[in-house]
Structure 1
């Protein structure tokens, strides 16, 4: 997984919250996080997650520029049920009931609404989400079915194959679309610490030499940048500019910024 994937989940959650019949019942990766705000009444919720990643490129290093991920939305009608454990403690658990006509309508409404929200040009979080997606592939939906009895449950799993922009390699400039998305996420108090951490990670590698950045991006040995014409400096003591000299007309001369061409060598005084 990448930090861009994490940003996509966060942006989708913020774009959807308050803009569907799920209201604030939208979460990232774990439905159990919703148990604290749910009641014993059935209510629609949305679970945002990213699953499979597929990268077809070869010899592109770990920060590949071509690949797809499965962006998924679980549309659910569920309730929070409280159980008593054997030692007397109360435990909240999410329960997804068998579907009926009313619940099916709720799922159909959610299926329409997530598409509208993530396409909304006036939703700042959705705009940042779209800016991080280079291409959208097939969209498919599956029903939640009891594998034993075959009963259908009030859950619809939507999977969208997308091609996200790639994480910048160490030392690379932060792309404007990623910078803008981080700035937008920082407006959410719950995400501010995560944004600071992500910016710190993206900043790593800026002190690398240019040939080292190429080596890191391509995940190669030090010999490869030299083959590409970006040779690393010779190993040994670092020599400062003021320690370098040259020979002009047989005399040793310090190399300085204000050396003028020698007329005897065809230059102008």
Structure 2
């Protein structure tokens, strides 16, 4: 579960559209962009050169000295896959008839195809680093660091190198926004939502509406936002000096703003705590 995981993938797709020699043929989690058949042979359903973006395994771990209790939205690491392929028409033998038929797939690579793939990979990395690409700016704002980059060649069972590469980026990404916690106009996730809403792609606008509905309206209760963020029980919240009064069964106690402490001898101290 990660809203930022989704945002990282969408921002990468949009940042690469029109920014490389494949044009707009940039795919989001396309099933079988580079796949394997029953004989473990690589195949593709694409009919022209493509880039496909995927998110793979992710994990979140509290490091030594990390604060927080049961924070389920903490920063995490995940793997972002960028698959690139030079699809082409090929004559293959139909096993049922023995005849040659034309199919689209990944051909064996050669000098020119390898240059094409290397150029495409460089263009993809350049697009994600482009300061004038607004979607890339969103992507960079959510990626705290790039821990590792692996480039893998696609090979057939016989070891022949095919016209496809896989770039695997290991990323540390920002924490998820929490429902009810205001993002603010400068927050990168708010920028992401606004970009989705302004997108000409209908599915992007639909996703934005669903995400807005999940995050909900801003919660004015600072103690409530703290409890969401840290995963605190009601007793833990009160032990830290936050939250509703112990006898408030409906949890409607307003957040503390101003209080007076009697020090004796007629002395008093007034304290003020502004909400987050």
Q: TM-score range by the shorter chain?
A: 0.7 to 0.9
Partner deviation per Cα, 1:179-218 (whole Å, 9 max, x = no partner): 11221222222211111111221226x4474333333222
- Once residues 8 and 125 of structure 1 are traced to their aligned partners in structure 2, the CA distance between those partners, rounded to angstroms, is 10
Asked whether the 8 Å contact 1:98–1:151 carries over to 2, the reply is yes
Gaps spanning 5+ residues in structure 2: where? 35-44, 64-68, 97-102, 255-265, 268-276
Root mean square deviation, CA, Å: 3.2
Aligned residue in 1 for 2:234: 222
The equivalent residue for 2:176 is 167
Cα displacement (A) at 1:231: 3.9
Tell me which structure has the larger Cα radius of gyration: 1
TM-score where L is the length of structure 1:
0.73
Is 1:115 aligned to 2:125, yes or no? yes
Q: 2:115, 2:131 → 1: CA distance?
A: 26
Aligned to 1:48: 53
Paired with 2:129 and 2:9, the residues of 1 have a C-alpha distance of 15
Partner of 1:141: 151
Counterparts of 1:47-86 in structure 2, within 5 Å, are 47-57=52-62, 59-64=69-74, 66-79=75-88
Inter-partner Cα distance in structure 1 for 2:253 and 2:113: 74
Match of 2:10 in 1: 10
Q: Offset of 1:240 from its aligned partner?
A: 10
Aligned counterpart in structure 1 of residue 198 of structure 2, from 187, 203, 218? 187
Per the alignment, in what secondary structure is the counterpart of residue 189 of structure 1? Answer: coil
Count the aligned residue pairs: 227
The whole-number CA distance in structure 1 between the counterparts of 2:211 and 2:252 is 36
Bigger drift between 94-103 and 182-191 goes to 94-103
CA distance in 2, matches of 1:156, 1:98: 12
Report the equivalent of 1:262: none
Partner of residue 261, structure 2 = none
Q: Counting helix residues as a fraction of each chain, which structure ranks higher?
A: 1
The alpha carbon displacement at 1:27 in A equals: 0.8
**CA–CA separation in structure 1 for the residues paired with 2:161 and 2:250:** 72
Asked if the contact 1:170/1:217 (under 8 Å) is kept, the reply is no
Q: Distance in 2 between matches of 1:216 and 1:183?
A: 24
The runs of 5 or more residues in structure 1 that have no matched partner are 87-92, 242-264
Contact 1:44 1:106 in 2 (8 A): no
- Whether the aligned pair in 1 keeps the contact of 2:182 and 2:219 (CA below 8 Å) is no
Question: Structure 1 residue 155: deviation in Å?
Answer: 1.4
| Partner SS state of residue 121, structure 1 | coil
